[in-house]
Structure formats: structure tokens, C-alpha cells
Amino acid sequence: MYRRLHIIIELIAKVLALAGGAVLLCVIVLTCVSIAGRALVPFDLGIGPIRGIYDMTEIGMAAAIFAFLPWAQFTEAHARVDLFQPVMPRTMDRFLDLLFNLAMLVVATVGTWRLYLGMRDKLSFGETTLIAQIPVWQGYAASLVGAVGFILVASFCVVRSGRRIAGLPD
């Protein structure tokens, strides 16, 4: 059962990370096209910068960052200070990993909850971005996908840490 759960959670984290990478690549391409269009304005070719590129970049970056969080959690790639780890007993180190994973689960849950409330707020007021007039709630919704994945992965990491303390294999 645990092995199957491990495979599913790893797949979720990978798919979200790849989707975040795809969004990031789209933002890069759009930015390059907009810059090239801005450079061609003096030649009067009818080509110019992309209207609302800042809005699109802002939304895309937020969605990409949230999509990367599950993979960082799954691979234990978040920043940490291992100053005392070499001299710490292995049991204490594993207990601290469990504590860290529990804290990340709380952060993921509270962050997702607040992101959801923010999305509902933006949706109810019909707020749009200044230039491109993109509904702001859509950016929140895109970020919410990664945030929910973050909760799932963080929950799995708590279980994984508990298994390590118990001496069970990953």
C-alpha cells in the first residue's frame, strides 16, 4: 500500500513540476516576443510589445512557483541548515525531519486555505488586472492547483518520516 502511495505522490509532484516548467517556458517565450516587438516599433511594421505582458508574467510566475513546491517537498530539496546533523544521533535527526515535515504540512494547509479565500474574494468582486484585464481569480486558481498538490505531498512526507522513525523502508 505504501509503495503504491509513494508512486502516486511522486507522479503528482513530477507532473506539477513539469507543468510549472512548461508555464515558465511560456512566460519566457512571451517575454522574448514582447521585447522583440518593442524593439521593432521604430520600424513601423505593425508589430509591437504584447499588451499586458507584465500581468501574464505575474500570473505565470506565481502558478509556476506553486507548481514547483510539491517536487521540492517530495525530494526534500527545501533549504535547511545541517550544522549539527553530523554529530546528532540518527533517531534525533529523523525526529527533526518528522517535525519539519509536520511544519511544512501546516504551512501548506494554511497557505492553501488563504489562497482559496483570496481567490473567492477576487472572484466575488470581479477584479481584473490593470492592462490585460485578466480576471485576477484565474491566477489564484492556477496557483491553487500547485498548492493542493503541496498539501498532498506534504502529508505523504509526514507518513514517510514516521516510517523512517519506525525503521521501515522508504
Q: Which of 80, 104, 66, 97 has the alpha carbon at shortest distance from 162?
A: 97
Q: What is the pLDDT of residue 50?
A: 93
Tell me the pLDDT of the chain (170 aa) as tens digits: 999 999 999 999 999 999 999 999 999 999 999 999 999 888 888 888 999 999 999 999 999 999 999 999 999 998 777 777 788 899 999 999 999 999 999 999 999 999 999 999 999 999 999 999 999 999 999 999 999 999 999 999 999 999 999 999 88
- Cα 36 to Cα 43: distance, rounded to the nearest angstrom: 12
Full-prediction pTM beyond 0.85?
yes
